[in-house]
Structure 1
């Protein structure tokens, strides 16, 4: 009889979730803080709008490039270590089989059973490589994160977050308050949504993200106001 499954797990290894969440948060916080700083310096609506659009474009492509290089470097390192393991399996299969049995023994399996499991798994070189890679490196050879997916996720999510505080100025607003309200709602909603992926309560996640965003915007607004009051051009 097949095993009965009573629960399912969410995918916690995908390459899109972290950059998408981080990108949206960063886009909303950083661009609203930028707009707040420029608005604090008593800049005109056109200047604030230009700053917001420039921050959106520059930040989105910067995030995408950073994520691509970061994930690509991580994947290349993992591939290099996997290749080392592949060579060892080809050159010293008996030693690798004994090493695998030792890993199972360390996890509490009886030595005889561990040796038999390692022997059976080692009959298929591809399966043996996957088992060794997961056990020793914590990765799966055919399921490494995609740099392109991470980059696109970061670019799009940053742009979505960054465009929210720009919208009021794009539609004619001349003060910071409409952008602040939209940014506050977006920050709280984003934090609440992210909390659904964890064990945190929605209100805690929303308030935490709102607090961080408000602090960043408050600091840049004060800096912009001080620079504007000093007459720096």
Structure 2
């Protein structure tokens, strides 16, 4: 149909959790490996540190996502309940409130009041619109807590595994591990562009720069401490 167009998903569902989970895994384990490697850690020490970082980080990310999404959804549901009660107790006042919202956006008073009054005839639709206008969310399309948690767990694990792969394959080479991390960070940044609409190249370079800062800082600290411990 003419005039129709699609939007990217900005609701914060599984894709957001997956992209940022993978990025966190990459940056966290790349930094851990760089810090231990910079301090002169042996092959088995780096592998042990990397695996511990992968498991601990994955569970931490999943737990954080679950609690965050659950808390947000519970808060929204509580506000929806409050709005439902307000519509039942003071329908006239709520009609006037919704009409005022549209009037403030440039709709004529007569049209805004007529729309708000007609909408009130359907309690379900009225609640849906009032919640959208007053809370700025669609309560019918909230992200799933378990979906976000599982997505975050798996993506963090994958991201954290990549810089560790060379060591798991028997290569005791920090430069190789960091090169793998750099390529993966570029790819993760490009993937994040799907959410933001930015240039994949710009997003990838930005992600690489931020990751390099974290890796460089932990390498320097590991190198300095390793020389005195």
| Superposition TM-score, scaled by structure 2 size | 0.96
Aligned to 2:71: 73
Aligned to 2:136: 138
C-alpha deviation, 1:92, in angstroms = 1.0
Query: Matches of 1:6 and 1:99 in 2, distance apart?
Result: 30
C-alpha deviation, 1:207, in angstroms = 1.2
Q: Secondary structure at the match of 1:114?
A: helix
Asked if 1 retains the 8 angstrom alpha-carbon contact of 2:37 and 2:174, the reply is: yes
C-alpha deviation, 1:195, in angstroms = 2.1
Query: Matches of 1:127 and 1:215 in 2, distance apart?
Result: 50
Structure 1 regions of 5+ residues with no counterpart?
none
C-alpha deviation, 1:65, in angstroms = 0.4
Match of 1:23 among 21, 24, 27: 21
Q: Secondary structure at the match of 1:7?
A: coil
Aligned to 1:217: 215
Q: Considering only aligned residues, what root-mean-square deviation do their CA atoms show, in Å?
A: 1.3
Match of 1:90 among 85, 88, 101: 88
Match of 1:34 among 26, 32, 45: 32
C-alpha deviation, 1:6, in angstroms = 4.0
Query: Matches of 1:195 and 1:144 in 2, distance apart?
Result: 22
Going from structure 1 to structure 2, the CA distance change for 1:99 and 1:12 (only over 3 Å counts) comes to same
Query: Matches of 2:190 and 2:18 in 1, distance apart?
Result: 15
Match of 2:145 among 141, 144, 147: 147
Query: Matches of 2:27 and 2:76 in 1, distance apart?
Result: 33
C-alpha deviation, 1:200, in angstroms = 2.3
| Superposition TM-score, scaled by structure 1 size | 0.94
Q: Deviations over 1:113-172 (max 9, x none)?
A: 111101111101010000000000011222222111111111111111110001000000
1:106-121 matches, cutoff 5 A? 106-121=104-119
Q: Secondary structure at the match of 2:27?
A: helix
Q: Which moved more, 1:20-29 or 1:8-17?
A: 8-17
Q: Secondary structure at the match of 1:197?
A: helix
C-alpha deviation, 1:223, in angstroms = 1.0
**Matched pairs, number:** 229
Aligned to 1:49: 47
Match of 2:179 among 172, 178, 181: 181
Structure 2 regions of 5+ residues with no counterpart?
none
Aligned to 2:160: 162
